[in-house]
Structure 1
Amino acid sequence: MTSARASVMKGLDDVRPGLEDLYRELHAHPELAFEEHRTAAEVARRAAAAGCEVTAGVGRTGVVALLRNGSGPTVLLRADMDALPVQEQTDLPYRSTVDGVMHACGHDMHTVCLLGALDLLARGRDQWSGTVLAVFQPAEEMAAGAKAMVDDGLYERFGRPDVTLGQHLAPIPAGWLGCHPGPAFAATDSIDVRLHGKGGHGSRPETTVDPVVMAASTVLRLQTVVSREVAAKESVVVTVGSIHGGTKDNIIPDHVDLALNVRTFDVQVRDRVLAAIERIIRGEATAAGAPREPELTFHSAFPVLVNDDAAMARTKAALDEAFPMIIDPGPVTGSEDFGHFGTAAGVPTVYWLFGGEDQERFVTAYSGGTFERDIPSNHSPHFAPLLQPTLDGGVTALVTAALAWLGPGSAAS
C-alpha cells in the first residue's frame, strides 16, 4: 500500500500548478446551491481530460465521473461544490467577485482535491484495479444535493459502491487529519415558528397581546432545554437564529416569526428535545394569552452521519502511513448530508476532516485560549484556508483512502 501510494503520488508535482490555479478560479467565482453551472462545467471538462467517463446534470447540477480500471471494488469519492450567501471579508487576492456569495465552507477546496486525486489515480493505473466513482455534489448547504443525486438514479446508472469516502476542510493545521468512528456529525432539525398575538398601538399595550414579549420569553425559556432536560453526557445544541416581527416602534404587531436550529446525535435525545421545544413554545403562548395556537413547521434536514467502525479503522490505518498527525475531534456538531450516499447504497461510510490552518497560528491561539476568537471557522466571512499545504494534504488523503479499498494493480503482480 505504501509503495502504491508513493507511485501514484509521484505525479503531484506535475498537476499541482494547475490545481492551484483552479482553486483560485473557483474561489473567485462561487455559486450557490443548485446554481453550480460554471463549476460543474469546469469539473466535467477536467474529469474528462483525466480519462473519466463523465455525466453532468445528475441531481440537477451534479457531476459523476467514472474511472474504470478493470475488475475490482468500486469506491465512491465525493466532493461538494456549492458556496454560501456570505459576503467575503478576507484580503485574498483571489477573493470572491460575486457580491454576497463566498466559498466560506471550503467546498472549492473539496472539489479541486477530488479532481487532483482523479488525475493522479488515472496516471497511476498500474498501481490499482477497480472503479472510482467520483461524485461532485451540488447543494450540500441545503441538505438537498446528496438525496437529489441518489433520487436521480446515481446507483442504478453508475453502479453501487463498496464503500463511500469523503472529507471536509476544517480549521485545524494544514497537514493534519481528524478521524472519529461512530456518530461523527450531528443530525439537524429546523423549526419555523409563528407566534400569534393581537396587534395595536404601542401606547395602549393593555389592548393587545404582544407577540414580541411572547417571543422574548420563549427564546429565554428555550435556553433551558439543554441545561435542564438533557443529560450532561449528551451533546445537544438549540439555537434561535432568527426573530422577525413588527414594522414600527409604536406598533405592536400581530405575530412574530422565529427560526430554530437543533443539533443532536441520538434519536431518543432528539425526540425528547423536539418535544420539549414544542411544549415550551405552546406553553409560553398560553401563558401570554395568545388568541391562536402557535404554528410550528418541522424540517428534518440532515441525519446523523455515522462512520462505520471497521471501515474507519481500515481507512485510518492507511492514512496513518501518510499523515504524521491524525487527531480524534470527537463528534462534530456541524452537519453533513454525505451519509445519505452510504445509507442509500447500504455500504459503509467513512468521512474525515483535513486541515487548512497555519500551524503556528493554530497552536498559539489554542494554547492561549483564543482559538474561537482568532481562528475563523467554516461559514465565517473571514474563512481563508492556506492554499498550500492544504491542497496537497487533501489530494493525498483522498488518494490514500481510495487505495486502501481498491484492488491491487498490475505493478503488484
Structure 2
Amino acid sequence: MSFADKTDERLVEDSSPKAMLEGFVRRMKSGDLGMVPVIVGLLIIWVVFYSQNERFLSSRNLVELLLSSSAIGMISVGVIMVLLLGEIDLSVGSVSGMSGAIMAVLVVYHDWSVLPAIGVALLAGLAIGVVYGLLYTRFGVPSFVITLAGLLAFLGLQLVVLGDNGTVNLPGDSWLIDFANFKFLSPLASYVLAVLAGLAYFGGRVLTIRKRRAANLSAPSVLSVAIRAALMVAGLAYVAYYLNLDRGIGYMPLLWILVIVFMDQVIRKTRFGRHVFAVGGNEEASRRSGIRVDRVYVAVFALCTMFAAFGGVLAAARLQSVAQSSGGGDTNLMAIAAAVIGGVSLFGGRGSMYAALFGMLVLQSITSGLNLIGVDAEVRYMVTGGVLLLAVTIDSLSRRARRSSGRG
C-alpha cells in the first residue's frame, strides 16, 4: 500500500458502532450533552403518560399536539437567537399579541387582504427588534430592562389597536384559518417529503465530506452517511404513516419545522451564524477579531421580535380571533422555557435551533398528558417549573464539565 493510500485511509473517520459509542461517551463526559437530555426527557414523559392513558400516544392526540405547538414554537425560534448571545427578550408574548392584533384589524376593519396585513405585522415586529438592538448597543441599556419595558408598552398598544370591542374575529372563510386548522398533507405527499428529507441530508453530508477531504481533514465514510440517511427516511416515513392514521401532517406544523431546519442551516453554515455563536461565546474576543458586534446584536433582536410577530399571526389563525388576552398568559413562559429546556445555554454561545422543536414538544406533552389524566392547571405550572429548573441545572453542570475538560 502506498503512502498516499495510507493517508487517504486516515482521512476517513472510524464509523464503526464501537467507535461511535466511544465518541458519544467521551462527549457526554466532557459536558457536550447536545440534545440528549431533552430527547431522553421527552421519551420518559411519553412513556409515563402513555402508562396512565393510552390515548396520549394516539395519532389524533399527536396531530393535535403538533398543531398546538406551532405558534409558540415559532416564537421560540426567535428566542433561541437572543439566548445564543446570552441575552433575553421578555416581550415576545406582548409583541406576538400586538402583531396578531395589527393583522386582524387590517383584515377585518380595513378590508386588507391577508398577505399584506401579515407583511405589516411582521414589519412591525422587525422594527421593534431594531429599536431594542439600538437601545442595547448605543446606550448600553440591559436587554432585561428594554424588553421588560416592551412587555408592558406593547401590551398597552395591543389594547389600543383592538379598540373598544377588545376582540376581533377573523373571517371564517379566510385561507389563513384554513391553513392553520384544516390543511394537511396527503399521505403520498408526506412519504415523498420523508424521502426528500433523507436525500437532502445525504447530499449535504456528502458535500461536507468532499470539502473536508479536500482540506486534508478527517471525515466520516459515505457508507455511514448513506445508512444514516436511510434510517432517517424510514423513521420519518413511519411518523408520517402514524400521523396519517388521523388527519396527517398539518401545513402549519410543517411550516414551523421547515423554518427550524432553515434557521439551523443559517446559524450553522453561514458567516452570520458563526458570528452569533462567537459573540455569544466571547463578545470582546469577537470584537477584536473584526466582527461587527453591534450589527450582530441589532440583527438578532430584530429576528427575535419578527419571529414573535410571526407566532402571533399563527396564533390568531389557530384561534380564529385576536383578543386582549392574546400573547398573554403563559406565552412568554412557554416560548422561553421551550428554548431552555431544548438545550440552549442561558450563558450564550451554545445551542441548537432544534431546541424549539423538542423543547416545545416537551412542554405541550406535559400539558396534553396532564389534561388527559385530569390534573388541574396549577400542577402543570409546577411540573413545567420543575422541568425548567432541571434543564438549567443540567446546563450549568455541563458548562462546569466543559471548563474542567478545557473545552470552554
TM-score (norm 2): 0.24
Asked which structure has the greater RCO (Cα within 8 Å, sep 6+), the reply is 2
Structure with the higher fraction of residues in strand conformation: 1
TM-score (norm 1): 0.23
Structure with the higher fraction of residues in helix conformation: 2
